[in-house]
A and B are shown apart, each in its own frame.
Chain A
């Protein structure tokens, strides 16, 4: 919607290269600190990834992944501590089981395997974080944007954005919340 957003998604601006938008769930204790270390070491990686911090990969509900894909990200990456290193003993083992089954299910129903990936990255593996992000971005750039609902996408292209059925204005404006 904003100017910044359009400049960043190449497709919307009609430019040549497609810049995917990728959401990465990262556990606070391992991958998030690995990503911090990558920064500390001034490593470079593509800017397509947005990290969402969670306490543990066991906190990542498959429902978030599907929601993110439905709402317009081109790929989802879930990262946690290596099996055996979980700060909370066992969270990543549960995550592993859930996400493995869920990933198989998504692929079974036709999702490209590249769009949902899981990696174990420790707090010291800054290089691995950089390499993972770089490789996932390249893979998704190669397969193109994700259009989960072609009919809906066509509707939006026709300029019915104001009444966009998946974006009720109240949600976009953040009014639903009464947390205050």
Chain B
């Protein structure tokens, strides 16, 4: 870890010094012990503020979108960050030459409060970045498929196994708890609309009340909007102040698309190929 941290600091300083990039997005220490937050470095001298430890929980890619600078931005990318970058390039939110990607292998991050590996990291299928300009440190071993595949869908399968009334009760509880702070939307690398459907008053998709109906609408439509593009970084669930199992909703969609249309994982390339944006004439028929 410290070796990697040094490597990131060194390269960040060099890139800034040489003027190859105007900003580096990495992690810095937060106010509390073992807390980190995204760090935006503009001067080579500040590169030493970069940290890389077991608690770098933020997926950084989306921060690159909000940096309005003239010049290249370097971003530290692990598997999740890299897939998010690919996703944003596929969605025309940035071009590949706007970013310089410092690949950082990652074996999973820990929750500061519990000191346990984050749920989103337990189901990670790409510990090494899938795209980068240079890879810092040695690539780590990817998890065995059986190790992850069980965990990826275990939560969903448990819910699917419930009877309908139980599921209704379970999700009503979830949706009732939602406070619609939209943190899940803000952090999501797939949520790149200029104006979210919830704010579009004219069409009137989303009512403003906080009640079960409106919360269900928000959460289900959020999944409909991102479902076939989700790169499974798990940030939505991580940032949810109410601790709602948002990835359980996303993953259900992902699992279904995979079962129905062999969708596969998203964000592995920067080509646009949404599962719901194509079809086969012999697609499965479930309606009749």
Give residues in A with beta carbon < 8 Å to B: 62-63, 66-67, 70, 83-84, 90, 93-94, 96-112, 117-120, 148-149, 151-152, 165-166, 171, 176
Pull 10 A–B residue pairs with CB atoms less than 8 Å apart, ordered by A: A63-B197, A63-B224, A67-B205, A70-B213, A93-B279, A108-B159, A110-B164, A148-B212, A149-B212, A166-B209
A94 to B274, CA, bound (A): 11
- What bracket does the count of chain B residues touching chain A fall in? 35 or more
| Contact yes or no, B252 A105, CB < 8 A | yes
Identify B253's interface contact among A105, A149, A152, CB under 8 A.
Answer: A105
CB-CB under 8 A from B281, the residues of chain A are: 83-84, 93
CB-CB under 8 A from A112, the residues of chain B are: 164
Contacts A101-B227, A104-B256, A171-B204 hold; do A151 and B164 have CB atoms under 8 A apart?
no
| Contact yes or no, A105 B220, CB < 8 A | yes
Residue of B nearest to A108 (CB): B252
Shortest CB distance A138–B (Å): 17
Contacts A62-B221, A67-B205, A148-B216 hold; do A97 and B283 have CB atoms under 8 A apart?
yes
A100 to B260, CA, bound (A): 9
| Contact yes or no, B279 A152, CB < 8 A | no
Q: Which of the 9-residue segments B45-53, B84-92, B131-139, B165-173 touches chain A?
A: B165-173
- In chain B, positions 264-288 with a C-beta closer than 8 Å to chain A are 275-277, 279-281, 283-288
| Contact yes or no, A110 B276, CB < 8 A | no
CB-CB under 8 A from A62, the residues of chain B are: 221, 224
Contacts A109-B216, A110-B165, A110-B171 hold; do A97 and B285 have CB atoms under 8 A apart?
no
Residue of B nearest to A107 (CB): B164
Instruction: Identify whether the interface residues of A are mostly helix, strand, loop, or mixed.
Output: helix
A-B pair number, CB within 8 angstroms: 118
CB-CB under 8 A from A108, the residues of chain B are: 156, 159-160, 167, 171, 252
Residue of B nearest to A99 (CB): B287
Q: Is B38 an interface residue (CB 8 A)?
A: no
A128 to B263, CA, bound (A): 33
Residue of A nearest to B168 (CB): A110
Shortest CB distance B276–A (Å): 5
CB-CB under 8 A from B221, the residues of chain A are: 62-63, 66
A103 to B276, CA, bound (A): 14
| Contact yes or no, B217 A100, CB < 8 A | no
Q: Is B117 an interface residue (CB 8 A)?
A: no
CB-CB under 8 A from B170, the residues of chain A are: 110
Q: Is B261 an interface residue (CB 8 A)?
A: yes
Residue of A nearest to B171 (CB): A109
A113 to B207, CA, bound (A): 25
CB-CB under 8 A from A149, the residues of chain B are: 211-213
Starting from the known contacts A109-B249, A110-B164, A149-B211, 8 additional A-B residue pairs (CB-CB under 8 Å) come to: A93-B279, A96-B279, A96-B283, A96-B287, A108-B252, A109-B216, A120-B288, A165-B207
Contacts A94-B276, A101-B260, A166-B209 hold; do A66 and B286 have CB atoms under 8 A apart?
no
Interface string of B184-207 (1 = CB under 8 A from A): 000000000000010000101101
Shortest CB distance B281–A (Å): 6
A118 to B205, CA, bound (A): 22
Residue of B nearest to A117 (CB): B287
Contacts A67-B205, A108-B167, A171-B204 hold; do A97 and B279 have CB atoms under 8 A apart?
yes
A17 to B214, CA, bound (A): 30
Identify B216's interface contact among A70, A93, A151, CB under 8 A.
Answer: A70
Shortest CB distance B224–A (Å): 5
Shortest CB distance B161–A (Å): 11
| Contact yes or no, B209 A165, CB < 8 A | yes
Contacts A101-B227, A101-B257, A110-B165 hold; do A90 and B213 have CB atoms under 8 A apart?
no
A159 to B202, CA, bound (A): 29
Sorted nearest first, the 4 A-B pairs with minimum C-beta distance are: A110-B168, A93-B279, A118-B287, A109-B171
Q: Is B106 an interface residue (CB 8 A)?
A: no
| Contact yes or no, A94 B207, CB < 8 A | no
CB-CB under 8 A from B168, the residues of chain A are: 109-111
Q: Is B104 an interface residue (CB 8 A)?
A: no
A11 to B83, CA, bound (A): 52
Contacts A98-B276, A112-B164 hold; do A119 and B288 have CB atoms under 8 A apart?
yes
